[in-house]
Structure 1
Amino acid sequence: MNKPPQNSAEMPDYLKARRLHLNGIITLMGDMKKLNARANKNAKVERLTIDAIAAELDLIDLQLKRKCG
């Protein structure tokens, strides 16, 4: 993973791009889960991954609110 920019003017753009990327991952995982409804072996790992991504999205939203006002 690339390091976030040190310039505070570029930070909101980085956070917005990161949020968009993580939302794409969650969407993709949701679509794959629909396809693999019968193979429910990895459901706990998937749920933990989705929860971790959602927590990071919440943190990004909080940071954006602080930066953008």
Structure 2
Amino acid sequence: MRKITLSNGKTVEVECLSCAITSGEIEPDGGVIVETEYFHAHQDVAYPIEGLVILASKLHLTSPHA
């Protein structure tokens, strides 16, 4: 488990931050931008930079070469 401090000051302990967000365990402050069967787009929960969008796969990948 990893401890991560979110931009709202809340600290969470998760195995995988992307998995926690795509499963709904953690709700991004700005909400979900768009969600499909395979992907989830949201603002970064740790560093909310204007215009920066995170596109997370709903399938847990350990490597881009998997």
Question: TM-score, normalized by length of structure 1?
Answer: 0.23
Which of the two has greater helix per residue?
A: 1
Which of the two has greater strand per residue?
A: 2
Question: TM-score, normalized by length of structure 2?
Answer: 0.24
Structure of greater Rg = 1
Q: Which protein, 1 or 2, shows the higher relative CO under an 8 Å CA cutoff with sep ≥ 6?
A: 1
